Structure 1
Amino acid sequence: MQPMNHWQRIEAAIGGEATDRPPIALWRHFPEDDLHPDKLVAHTLQWQDKWQFDLVKFMPSGTYGVEDWGAVSAYRGAANGAREVVQPAVLRTEDWRRIAPLDVRQGSYGRQNEALAAAARGLGGRVPLLQTVFSPLTTARKMSTEKMFADLRCFPDELERALMVITEVTIRFALDALALGAHGVFFATQQASHRLLSTAEYERFGKRYDLMVFEALRDKARFNMLHAHGDDIMFDLLSDYPAEMFNWHDRLTDPTIAQAAERFPRLLVGGIDEHGTLLRGSERDIEDQVHEALSQAAGRRLMIGPGCVLPVAATDASIRAAVRATHQFQEGLACA
């Protein structure tokens, strides 16, 4: 088969067609530097130039979506490079009423798309670029931390009013990202877990607003990736979302890749245990894990990726092993 470019490889993989090799994309945070648009852009371009992944997930700080509403965050050395909220914007139930519309071209929201636009110019359209967008319920939890769960059950009307405002802001931010050079969004939900909510609760407070975002992006994004964070995810509830790619912690929680391939008809993203095998395993361990994941999918409809985000301590040698194993898999099939 003739070599494919990044776009051809991703689009063929989404459609379940044969590819010259399986696609691969890995991503990581750049703590502290991700607060500065110019530094984040430089890291993004250097990362892609070094590894030539088939997709670029833009990596703003994970708390960018709550800071303009008054939440304060800090990086405290988390292994994955993520910031954490140290001062919530919502401390009491009545604080939900203060969640008002924002100008997404200003403040923290504005900085993320300013940086994305510069990265898009630097990448020149050679590779798909996704802006990271959090689900409205995820944003609500980040701005209130654990209190959100009590208010969801005791004061649902207060939360739902705020969720509508958050959804409208999320949509405007995502549409701006597309206008500035993103080809879609990496849509992350961190609450679609049976450990956190019932299915009925997620349908009311999560899925309803998630689908508003996806509907606003319909016919405007080339493709989107859905990320379900955490354990015991509601895979079946999420599997009918209009997303072309589905990413989850397949090495830590059900379903397996083989099981997911029977329930999601487009491109799965995963296969790497980023905090286990990639961080602590040998290069052979990493290669074996990549090949085992691709074998589960029979080499089709799987992009090798992390369950969430690489630890900042992941070494070049480990990343290189994952890339090498992915690039060589098709050759292995041909020789089998």
Structure 2
Amino acid sequence: MNHWQRIEAAMNGELTDRPPVALWRHFPDDDQYSDKLVAHTLAWQKKWQFDLVKFMPSGTYGVEDWGAISGYRGAANGAREVIQPAVVRTEDWRRIVPLDVRRGAYGRQNEALAAAAKELKGQVPLLQTVFSPLTTARKMSTEKMFADLRRFPEELERALMVITDVTIRFALDALAQGAHGVFFATQLASHRLLTTSEYERFGKRYDLMVFQALRGKSRLNMLHAHGDDIMFDLLSDYPTEMFNWHDRLTDPTIAQAAECFPQLLVGGINEHGTLMHGSEQEIEDQVHEALSQTGGRRLMIGPGCVLPVAAKESSIRAVVRAAHQFKESPVCI
């Protein structure tokens, strides 16, 4: 099977020659330069031949054009931090105005994606990383966002409509530049941060606007639910083909998720635990245990989030080897 055949068969719960596998990581500092990001993306895929390419712009690209300033301060996962937010006071939400997504930080991401897509020639699914509108609002602000959400919801909602429009236009431009879909990341759908009704109003409402705009235009999308105690039940009916979360750190397990989400689950690897500190045998055992939860069907082996930049090649090789060697069981979900 080629990458597309393997992914599509796995999504449908059909027999595959082997389980699909994809890992991704940040390229800190170099991700600020389109040519370097493209070179890293292509070299990563050429080396490992993963079944899916998650394009890896910095996690702060979506707030910089509104005035937030970010920097890389050595985070183990390679992520940049917002060091000067764009929204500090409630009235600052009114400064969130429409943007041209073909200029500035937004424009650079799809310019780089287009160059990578040209070289990949459509041989492997390519997803642009897109953040949920509420995640973008959180990144551009301080902890005050949570107070404004409850005390001045109209101010936040006005900004969210602007952010959603920009997110949609950026996602559609990504498709026009060669992406086959988006990796849609939400970092606020956690019971530790919001109530279910709060996320329905300020999160899901806008998330679904983005997915609706992609309907019939994207070939496949992945939803990433970041953090602990995620609102899996609330997210499991999103119109997406793939679902990724920190399954090794928080509920639900892969087996539990398979009962609710009918297409392709993505996970199985504890990237900051077993991958970083376990032996190759322990890594292989973790991969096989994850696959055994679904009998090898409807699961793509992947990280709960991005790999640490210090992840060893031998550990990555162990993940790939384990996925390639797994023998499907007769269990089917």
TM-score, normalised relative to structure 2: 0.98
Counterpart secondary structure, 2:185: strand
Aligned amino acid, residue 136 of structure 2? T
Q: Which amino acid aligns with 1:124?
A: K
Cα deviation for residue 277 of structure 1 reads: 0.1
1:233 to 230, 235, 251: 230
Q: Given the alignment of the two structures, is residue 143 of structure 1 paired with residue 140 of structure 2, yes or no?
A: yes
Deviation per residue, 1:33-90 (Å, 9 max, x gap): 0000000000000000000000000000000000000000000000000000000000
Q: Which deviations, in whole Å up to 9, do the C-alpha atoms of 1:82-127 show, x marking residues without a partner?
A: 0000000001000000100000000000000000000000111110
The alpha carbon displacement at 1:333 in A equals 4.9
Q: Residue 164 of structure 1 corresponds to which residue in structure 2? A: 161
Structure 1 match to 2:206 = 209
Counterpart for residue 172 of structure 2: 175
Amino acid aligned to 2:61: Y
Q: What one-letter code is carried by the residue in structure 2 that aligns with 1:103?
A: D
Aligned counterpart, 2:259: 262
CA distance in 2, matches of 1:76, 1:180: 31
Q: Does 1:107 align with 2:104?
A: yes
Asked whether the 8 Å contact 2:10–2:299 carries over to 1, the reply is: yes
How many Å separate the matches in 1 of 2:68 and 2:14? Answer: 45
Which of 112, 116, 119 does residue 122 from structure 1 map onto?
A: 119
Q: Percent identical across equivalent pairs?
A: 85
2:86 paired residue number = 89
Secondary structure of 1:54's counterpart equals coil
Q: Distance in 2 between matches of 1:249 and 1:162?
A: 29
Q: Which residues of 2 match residues 1-336 of structure 1 at below 5 A?
A: 4-330=1-327, 333=329
Measured after TM superposition, the shift of residue 22 of structure 1 is: 0.2
The letter of the residue matching 1:29 is H
1:73, 1:31 → 2: CA distance?
Answer: 12
CA distance in 2, matches of 1:60, 1:106: 15
Q: Give runs of ≥4 in structure 1 deviating > 3 Å.
A: none
* 1:145 CA drift (Å): 2.8
Taking structure 1 as the reference length, the TM-score comes to 0.98
Secondary structure of the residue aligned to 2:88 is coil
- The offset of 1:147, in angstroms, is 1.3
Deviations 1:288-328 (A, max 9, x none): 00000000011000000000000000000000000000000
What is the alpha-carbon distance in structure 1 between the residues aligned to residue 143 and residue 181 of structure 2?
30
How many angstroms apart in 1 are the aligned matches of 2:76 and 2:134?
24
Q: Deviations over 1:214-234 (max 9, x none)?
A: 000000000100000000000
What amino acid sits opposite 1:198 in the alignment? T
Q: Is the 8 A contact 2:295 2:329 kept in 1?
A: no
Residues 129-178 of structure 1: per-residue CA shift (max 9 Å, x gap): 00000000000000003111010000000000000000000000000000
In 1, Cα distance between equivalents of 2:310 and 2:145: 32
Separation of aligned partners in 1, 2:220 and 2:147: 35
Q: In structure 1, how many angstroms separate the alpha carbons of the residues matched to 2:7 and 2:237?
A: 20
Q: Say whether the 8 Å CA contact 2:248–2:270 is kept in structure 1.
A: yes
Give, as a single letter, the amino acid of the residue that structure 2 aligns with 1:125.
G
Q: Give 1:202's aligned amino acid.
A: Y
Secondary structure (helix, strand or coil) at the match of 1:130 reads strand
CA contact (8 A) 2:222 2:242 kept: yes
Equivalents in 2 of 1:292, 1:170: separation in Å? Answer: 37
Q: How many residues align?
A: 330
Separation (CA, whole Å) in 2 of partners of 1:146 and 1:252: 24
**3-state SS of paired residue (1:85):** strand
CA contact (8 A) 2:292 2:329 kept: no
Q: Distance in 2 between matches of 1:26 and 1:146?
A: 31
- 2:26 and 2:91 map into 1 onto residues whose CA distance is 34
Unpaired runs of 5+ in structure 1?
A: none
SS class of match (1:289) = helix
What whole-Å deviation, never above 9, does each CA across 1:196-241 have from its counterpart, x for those lacking one? 0000000000000000000000000001000000000000000000
